[in-house]
Structure 1
Amino acid sequence: MTNNNSKPLQLWSVQDLASENLESVPSRYIRPEIDDKIVVTSAGIEVPVIDLSKLIGHDTHFFMEEFEKLDLACQERGFSRLLNHGIDEEALKKMIEDVPKFFDLPFEEKKQCTGENEGYGQALVFDEEQKLDWGDMLALRTQPDSVRNYKFWPAHPLTFRETTNKYSSEMERIKTILLGLMAKNLGIDSKKLMKMFNGGLQSMRINYYPPCPDPSKVLGISPHSDPTGITLLLQLNEVDGLQIRHDGQWIPIKILPNAIPVNIGDSFEMLTNGRYSSIEHRVVINKEKERLTVATFHQTNGSVPIGPLSELIHKGESAKYNTISYDMFEKLFFSRKLYGKSLLDRLKREN
């Protein structure tokens, strides 16, 4: 998502800062609000794992089992992990190879890819006093082709653009499958839901979280819920860091090899009138190792306003959220720093 009225991406490199063998963390990155007491082990807490092959296969028994698991995951967690997703192995391999090569480039070369809420840098920084996240990013608009601005797409490594193009197509395919399944679970016309997302913006946030000498004092990304519909996450190395918020506690999500984490975003929660819930999440940092991820966001196409679908406002219920235009939704998101589910809170109706 982009908004021309928002602040430009800020230009500094946490990666370069971390390479200076710091003995302490600069004050602007220290987050005094972090409370380790509310971080709990994931042991005993079920983090849903969905086998996509069972949802696109022909075995009715396995289909219904996974179908119900997916619905429950969207309702109760807003988060699941997708196994046997069928994403092209070469596309995954090339992303895992090319992304680190970009971040290994000199800062002077990386900063050539910077613009307003797109390209290399840090986003949603509004003032000189704001606490900063411990990480660098490359934000790109990737689908449809018409939204791409290649001046923000790195020229190096030489295969980066081809790699990202192929991977983004794979993410689009997985999104389409998931939307069809979710529509069926919700009891709504899948064609209507598809029409809302067809041609909608797909964007990527490619993240580099360097190690930190005192990781207990920093965050890789502040607590937030994604504003979009569905997010698919590729974890490029075996370094944990993702945490989701559940019942007021932060639950660490251990990496499951070959799994793609999936989470519901704010606009999808609004469309379903709260039946499916967006998930608040954050990233913590490792003391010894870097962490690299690619988050792919999928949003509606702006053909209709964002708000509860009439089919999902059942008898005796009322709309839980105000309906607003796509442009206004974007404007609200880009006018505030990341902070929990503050965007949804602002759009809730007082019934």
Structure 2
Amino acid sequence: MASMEKTKPLYARSLLVPSVQGLAKDPNFTIPSRYIRTDQDQPLLSDNDHALCFPHQIPVIDFQKLLADESNGSDSELEKFHLACKDWGFFQLVNHGVSSSFLEKAKTEFQNIFKLPFEEKKKLWQTPEELEGFGQIFVVSEEQKLDWSDLFMLTTLPIHARKPLLFTKLSSTSRETLETYSMELQGLELSIMSQIEKALKLKDEEVRELFEGGNQAIRVNYYLPCPQPEKVIGLNPHSDAGGLTILLQVNDVEGIQVKKNGEWVTVKPLPNAFIVNIGDVLEIESNAEHC
């Protein structure tokens, strides 16, 4: 997952918590109470669930068609894109220009990060002062309920905002892949911003200028199988605070759900598509332009 933000996030620290991956290795494992989520809607787990039968799906945008509209004067894909951003805030992006072979390599590297031996992971663990590395974020109290997942997060752009000590502890292959992934997504992010400008009929680069040079972070989420999945939640329901979030799934598990008109809609991921989320900052900026 790559997230692009206008400014540096306000949050600066998170309480350290155990690794879910580590907990699950215990043969006598039972789910700790902090992970049992009676405070949320029950997860939707089967094809018979209402949300999985909900007739809608998040829109699919063909990026090459969107760029072609720009050259031939057509607005069919642009209108579809506009409605996806306005009515859903989510869409799947296909034919986006990032090669499938590279994405497969990136998926492998992201998975390998979580396959590191525990002693290697300890070198990449969060500290009380930082969010980056292995752990969880937004943990502000010892009583807070926790997600049934681990994450690895680091700032990738601008380069001067990176944590050099964290990057140097990664393997050379992981560093190279993260570097390429970061640059590929930066270009894609700015291209999407340009299309948002056209959809909103704004001046050229009016939105891009707000986000060029902004922060980009890559967050890799690892969701573990759970013996009692009905009791836990992989990631707490939320909206993303930044400008754009571009998500790449490593498999075709239908785990992401989007709330639309009070209904949870399960996303059926397409092969090597990006799932794009319009974040709070971009939504606020776009609304401000129309006030």
- TM bucket (normalised to shorter chain) is 0.7 to 0.9
The corresponding residue for 1:299 is: none
Is 2:38 aligned against 1:32?
yes
Letter of the structure 1 residue corresponding to residue 111 of structure 2: P
The corresponding residue for 1:15 is: 21
Is 2:72 aligned against 1:72?
no
Q: Distance in 1 between matches of 2:151 and 2:190?
A: 26
CA 1:162–1:235 in structure 2 vs 1: closer, same or farther (change >3 Å)? same
- Aligned equivalent of 2:195, options 181, 185, 189: 181
The corresponding residue for 2:249 is: 235
Letter of the structure 1 residue corresponding to residue 192 of structure 2: L
The corresponding residue for 2:98 is: 87
Matches for 1:38-117 after TM superposition, within 5 Å:
40-57=51-68, 63-113=74-124, 114-115=126-127, 116-117=130-131
- Aligned equivalent of 2:276, options 262, 267, 271: 262
- Aligned equivalent of 1:6, options 1, 4, 12: 12
Q: Distance in 2 between matches of 1:149 and 1:101?
A: 20
CA offset digits 1:117-168 (Å, max 9, x no partner): 1111111111111000011111111112121112223634430011000001
The corresponding residue for 2:183 is: 169
The corresponding residue for 1:279 is: none
Q: Is the 8 A contact 1:118 1:141 kept in 2?
A: yes
Q: Is the 8 A contact 2:257 2:267 kept in 1?
A: yes
Bigger relative contact order, structure 1 or 2, given CA contacts below 8 A and separation 6+? 2
Q: Distance in 2 between matches of 1:3 and 1:193?
A: 19
Q: Is the 8 A contact 1:120 1:136 kept in 2?
A: yes
Q: CA deviation at 1:245?
A: 0.9
Q: Distance in 2 between matches of 1:235 and 1:124?
A: 22
CA offset digits 1:195-221 (Å, max 9, x no partner): 111101111111111110111111111
Q: TM-score, normalised by structure 1?
A: 0.73
Q: Distance in 2 between matches of 1:265 and 1:42?
A: 27
Q: Is the 8 A contact 1:54 1:63 kept in 2?
A: no
Matches for 1:327-338 after TM superposition, within 5 Å:
none
Q: Distance in 1 between matches of 2:253 and 2:185?
A: 22
CA 1:59–1:149 in structure 2 vs 1: closer, same or farther (change >3 Å)? closer
CA 1:154–1:218 in structure 2 vs 1: closer, same or farther (change >3 Å)? farther
CA 1:89–1:255 in structure 2 vs 1: closer, same or farther (change >3 Å)? closer
Q: Is the 8 A contact 1:244 1:251 kept in 2?
A: yes
The corresponding residue for 1:160 is: 174
- Report the 3-state secondary structure (helix = DSSP H, G, I; strand = E; otherwise coil) of the residue aligned with 1:40: helix
The share of aligned pairs that are identical, in percent, is 40
Q: CA deviation at 1:12?
A: 1.7
Matches for 1:115-134 after TM superposition, within 5 Å:
115=127, 116-134=130-148
Is 2:207 aligned against 1:201?
no
Q: CA deviation at 1:46?
A: 3.3
- Report the 3-state secondary structure (helix = DSSP H, G, I; strand = E; otherwise coil) of the residue aligned with 2:51: coil
The corresponding residue for 2:149 is: 135
The corresponding residue for 1:335 is: none
Q: CA deviation at 1:250?
A: 1.4
CA offset digits 1:218-251 (Å, max 9, x no partner): 1111010000011100101222211111122211
The corresponding residue for 2:163 is: 149
When structure 1 is superposed on structure 2, of 183-192 and 263-272 the one drifting more is 183-192
Q: CA deviation at 1:98?
A: 1.0
Q: TM-score, normalised by structure 2?
A: 0.88
The corresponding residue for 2:226 is: 212
The corresponding residue for 1:225 is: 239
- What are structure 1's unaligned runs of at least 5 residues? 274-307, 314-351
Give RMSD over aligned pairs. Answer: 2.3
Q: Is the 8 A contact 2:134 2:152 kept in 1?
A: yes
Q: Distance in 2 between matches of 1:239 and 1:267?
A: 29
- What are structure 2's unaligned runs of at least 5 residues? none
